[in-house]
Amino acid sequence: MFDVVIAGGGPAGSAAAIALAGAGLKALIVDKALFPRNKACGEYVSAGAVEQLRTLGLESVLAPAAVPLVGIRLNGNGVRVELRFSKAGWALPRLQLDDELLRCAISRGATFLQARVEDVREEAPGSLLTVREPSGETRVLQARFVIGADGAQSVVARKCGLSVAPRGEQRFALGGHYGGLRDLDRFVEMFVEGSSYFAVNPFDAAHANIMVIVREKDLSARKNDVDQFIRERARALSGNAARFAGARLEGKRIAVGPLAHSTRGVTAGNVLLAGDAAGFIDPFTGQGVYLALRGGIAAARAVAAAVATPSSAPAAIENYASELSSEMRRRGKLARIVRTFTGSAALSKRVARNVERNPERVQILIDAIAGCGPVAPALAFGNLVRLVA
Ligand SMILES: Cc1cc2nc3c(=O)[nH]c(=O)nc-3n(C[C@H](O)[C@H](O)[C@H](O)COP(=O)(O)OP(=O)(O)OC[C@H]3O[C@@H](n4cnc5c(N)ncnc54)[C@H](O)[C@@H]3O)c2cc1C
C-alpha cells in the first residue's frame, strides 16, 4: 500500500509531491501524459505563484527561463488602461514550468507512473485506484491517501461524487505561441469585447502566447480564422494596426473547453482534491497556477499531518477542505468582479479614471489577484464602490 498516490503531475500534483517529500513522505504520481507535456494556458505566472515556487525551492531554477512582467494593459470598451504589479510576475512556457516541477518532485523521492486513472473507490483504510497503462494493461493501486490533482476534467472528482455539472453557456479557448508581432513590452495585454477576450503574454518584443476565449456559439466561426480574428480585434480594440498585423502561429494550435468545472466539496474520505480538480476559475485573472501550487502544498501538509498522527486525520482533512473552499470562493469572486468591471463600458471607464486619480484603490485589487496582497480588503464592499466612484 502507498502512503499517498497523486493523480496528475501538473503544478498541483508536483507541488504536493515536493511538499510531501519535505515532510519525509514519498508519493506515487500517476499521470496519463509523458512529460514534458504541453498544457493550454496563457502562461502568465503571477507574483504569488512565483512566491509558491520559492517555497518549493524552484524560483532560482526557473527564473533564467522566465520573462519578468511589470503589469497588465487592458484594451476594450473604449478604454486602454495600464496597471502595474507591485511584484513582478513571469511569462513562462508551461512545457518548462511543469517539467521542472515534476523533475524536482522525482529528484526528491517521488515515483512517476505513466497511466490514466480510471476509477477511485473507498476501501478502508484508504482507497483503490484503477489505472490503465499505455500498453492497455490495468492495475489496481492501494493508497492510504489520494490527492486528486488531475485537472479540470478530474476523474477523481467525478468518481468520488464531487463534480457538479456546469451551468450556463460554455466557453472555449483557442491559441498558441505566436511570432511576427511588434513592439511587445513587459505588459500582459488583454483585449476584451463583451464575454470574449484574448490575452497576449509576451516572451520578447515579437513573440507571445496568445489565447482567445470565445463562447460556444462563436467557436466554429472562430476556429478557422483565429489569426485573422486576433489581427482584426487587436487593431479595433487598441487602435494600433501595426503591432499585430504580422501575427502568425508558430507550432501547434491549442483548443480546449468547455472551460468549466465545479465541485460540491474538495474532499471525500481520504481523497483530497487540489488545483483545477477542486474547481476551475475563469482564466482572465490568471490565478490558476497560483491556486494549483498553493492547493498542492496545502493538501500535502494535511496528508503529512494525517500520516504522522492518524487520530488527527479527520481534523487535518476537514481543515484543508474549509481553507481551500474559502480561498476558492474568494478568488472566484475576484474573477467575477474583474469580469463585471471589464464587461461594461461604463464601469471600465470609471475604473480607468480611478487608475489615474487614485491608483492605490486599484492596486489593492491587482495585488490580491496576483496573490501578493490580502484578499479581504479587495473584496470589501466599500473598496469596490470606491473603485467605480
Ligand atoms: C485557456 C487557459 C488559459 C489559462 N491561463 C492561465 C494563466 O495565464 N495563468 C494562470 O495562472 N493560470 C491560467 N490558466 C489556469 C491554469 O492553466 C490551471 O489552473 C493550472 O494548470 C492548474 O494546474 P493543475 O495541476 O491543477 O492541473 P493541470 O495543469 O491541468 O494538470 C493536470 C494533470 O493531470 C493529468 N491528468 C488528467 N486526467 C488524468 C487521469 N485521468 N489520469 C492521470 N492523469 C491525468 C494531466 O495529464 C495533467 O498533467 C489557464 C487555463 C486555461 C484553460
| Sequential pLDDT tens for the chain (389 residues) | 899 999 999 999 999 999 999 999 999 999 999 999 999 999 999 999 999 999 999 999 999 999 999 999 988 888 888 999 999 999 999 999 999 999 999 999 999 999 999 999 999 889 999 999 999 999 999 999 999 999 999 999 999 999 998 888 888 898 899 999 999 999 999 988 877 888 999 999 999 999 988 888 777 777 667 777 777 777 777 667 788 888 899 988 888 988 989 999 999 999 999 999 999 999 999 999 999 999 999 999 999 999 999 999 999 999 999 999 999 999 999 999 998 888 888 888 888 888 888 888 889 999 999 999 999 999 998 888 888 88
Rounded to the nearest 10°, the torsion over CA 83, 85, 86, 88 is: -160
Ligand 1 neighbourhood includes 212 CB (under 6 angstroms): no
* Ligand 1, atom 17, residue with closest C-alpha: 41
What ligand 1 atom has the least distance to the C-alpha of 31?
44
Residue among 39, 67, 219, 287 whose CB has most ligand 1 atoms within 8 A, to mutate: 39
Task: Using alpha carbons, select from 174, 205, 212 the residue that is nearest to residue 187.
Answer: 205
CA atoms within a 13 Å half-sphere pointing along the CA-CB vector of 24:
3
d(CA 280, CA 171): 12
Strands (E), 216-345: 248-256, 262-263, 267-268, 271-273
* Ligand 1, atom 36, residue with closest C-alpha: 150
* Alpha carbon of 315 to ligand 1 centroid (Å): 28
Strands 248-256 and 271-273: unpaired
Residue with cell 481553507: 323
Q: Which residues pair with 141 in a beta bridge?
A: 129
d(CA 216, CA 194): 14
**210, three cell numbers:** 496568445
**330, three cell numbers:** 474568494
Ligand 1 neighbourhood includes 292 CB (under 6 angstroms): yes
What ligand 1 atom has the least distance to the C-alpha of 257?
53
CB–CB of 233/214 below 8 Å? no
Strands (E), the chain: 2-7, 27-31, 44-45, 67-76, 79-91, 111-114, 116-123, 126-132, 138-148, 163-164, 171-179, 187-193, 196-202, 208-215, 248-256, 262-263, 267-268, 271-273
Task: Using alpha carbons, select from 243, 247, 292 the residue that is nearest to residue 101.
Answer: 292
Residue 34 DSSP symbol: P
Strands 138-148 and 79-91: unpaired
* Alpha carbon of 235 to ligand 1 centroid (Å): 31
Query: If residue 285 lies in a helix (H) or strand (E), which one and from where to where?
Result: none
* Alpha carbon of 94 to ligand 1 centroid (Å): 9
What ligand 1 atom has the least distance to the C-alpha of 199?
8
Supply the pTM of this predicted model.
0.96
Ligand 1 neighbourhood includes 256 CB (under 6 angstroms): yes
* Alpha carbon of 245 to ligand 1 centroid (Å): 31
What is the predicted pLDDT for the residue at 239?
67
What is the predicted pLDDT for the residue at 77?
81
Residue with cell 487614485: 358
DSSP string, 117-135: EEEEEEETTEEEEEEE-TT
Rounded to the nearest 10°, the torsion over CA 28, 32, 35, 38 is: -130
d(CA 285, CA 364): 14
* Alpha carbon of 148 to ligand 1 centroid (Å): 12
Domains of the chain from N-terminus onward: 2-69+87-166+260-335 (3.50.50.60), 171-256 (3.30.9.100), 345-387 (no CATH)
Cα 357 from chain centroid (whole Å)? 32
What ligand 1 atom has the least distance to the C-alpha of 274?
26
Residue among 6, 32, 98 whose CB has most ligand 1 atoms within 8 A, to mutate: 32
CA atoms within a 13 Å half-sphere pointing along the CA-CB vector of 25:
27
Sequence-distant (6+) residues with CB within 8 A of 34 are 114
What is the predicted pLDDT for the residue at 232?
75
Q: Is 1 exposed, middle or buried (0-12, 13-18, 19+ CB in 10 A)?
A: exposed
Ligand 1 neighbourhood includes 289 CB (under 6 angstroms): yes
Provide the terminal-to-terminal Cα distance of the chain, rounded to the nearest Å.
Answer: 59
